Structure 1
Amino acid sequence: MDWRQATHHSVKFFKYFGQRCSADKINITAGHLTYVSLLSLVPLIVVMFTIFSAFPVFEQLQRNIEEALIANLLPTSGEQLSSYIDEFVANASKMTGIGIAFLFVVAVMLISAIDSTLNSIWRDTSKRRLTVSLAIYWMILTLGPVLIGSGLAATSYLISLTQFAEEYISGVRSFALWLVPVITSFIAFVLLYQLVPNRTVRFRHAAFGAGIAAILFELGKQVFSLYITYFPTYQAIYGALATIPILLVWIYLSWTIVLSGAELTVSLEEYQYLRKKKRAE
Structure 2
Amino acid sequence: MKPDWQHYFDTAKRFIRLYAQRCQQDQITMIGGYLAYISLLSLVPFIAVMFSMLRAFPMFSQFRQSIETFVYANVIPSRGEEIQTYISQFIGNTGGMTAVGITALVIVALLLIYNIDKTLNKIWRVTKRPRPIISFSIYWMILTLGPILFGSSIVLSSYLVGLTRFAENYTPGLSTFALGIVPYLISMLAFFILYVVVPNIKVRSRHAFYGALLATVLFELSKRGFGFYIAHFPSYDTIYGALALVPILFVWVYLCWLVVLLGAELTALLQQIAADTEPADADDPDQISPEPEVKTD
Answer yes or no: same fold by TM over 0.5: yes
Classify the secondary structure of the residue corresponding to 1:242: helix
Alignment length, in residue pairs? Answer: 277
The residue type equivalent to 2:147 in the other structure is: P
Among all aligned residue pairs of Structure 1 and Structure 2, give the percentage whose two residues are the same amino acid.
49
Does 2:258 correspond to 1:261? no
The residue type equivalent to 1:188 in the other structure is: A
Aligned residue in 1 for 2:130: 128
Which of 30, 33, 37 lines up with 1:31 in the alignment? 33
Contact 1:49 1:89 in 2 (8 A): no
* Distance change in 2, residues 1:233/1:162 (3 Å): farther
Which of 231, 237, 240 lines up with 2:239 in the alignment? 237
**Which structure has the greater CA radius of gyration?**
2
Deviations 1:39-78 (A, max 9, x none): 1111111112223334433313533432233124421222
Cα offset for 1:173? 4.9
Does 2:142 correspond to 1:143? no
Once residues 257 and 74 of structure 2 are traced to their aligned partners in structure 1, the CA distance between those partners, rounded to angstroms, is: 12
* Distance change in 2, residues 1:132/1:218 (3 Å): same
Moved more, 254-263 or 126-135: 126-135
Which of 154, 157, 166 lines up with 2:156 in the alignment? 154
* Distance change in 2, residues 1:230/1:168 (3 Å): farther
Let me know the Cα RMSD of the aligned residues.
2.2
Deviations 1:228-278 (A, max 9, x none): 11222212222222211111111000000000000000111122334458x
Structure 1: runs of 5 or more not aligned: none
Does 2:206 correspond to 1:198? no
Cα offset for 1:84? 2.0
Matches within 5 A, 1:67-86: 67-86=69-88
Cα offset for 1:149? 1.0
Aligned residue in 2 for 1:224: 226
Contact 2:215 2:259 in 1 (8 A): yes
Aligned residue in 2 for 1:9: 11
Classify the secondary structure of the residue corresponding to 1:127: coil
Cα offset for 1:188? 0.7
Contact 1:73 1:251 in 2 (8 A): no
Contact 2:74 2:183 in 1 (8 A): no
TM-score when normalising by structure 1: 0.90
Contact 1:50 1:92 in 2 (8 A): no
Cα offset for 1:131? 1.5
Contact 1:181 1:218 in 2 (8 A): no
* Distance change in 2, residues 1:115/1:245 (3 Å): same
* Distance change in 2, residues 1:162/1:52 (3 Å): closer
Matches within 5 A, 1:169-208: 172-208=174-210
Once residues 237 and 271 of structure 1 are traced to their aligned partners in structure 2, the CA distance between those partners, rounded to angstroms, is: 47
Does 2:59 correspond to 1:57? yes
* Distance change in 2, residues 1:276/1:134 (3 Å): closer
Contact 1:205 1:265 in 2 (8 A): yes
Aligned residue in 1 for 2:254: 252
Classify the secondary structure of the residue corresponding to 1:76: coil
* Distance change in 2, residues 1:136/1:68 (3 Å): farther
* Distance change in 2, residues 1:131/1:276 (3 Å): closer
Contact 2:215 2:263 in 1 (8 A): yes
Classify the secondary structure of the residue corresponding to 2:129: coil
Aligned residue in 1 for 2:100: 98
Once residues 226 and 174 of structure 2 are traced to their aligned partners in structure 1, the CA distance between those partners, rounded to angstroms, is: 24
* Distance change in 2, residues 1:129/1:61 (3 Å): farther
Contact 1:13 1:271 in 2 (8 A): no
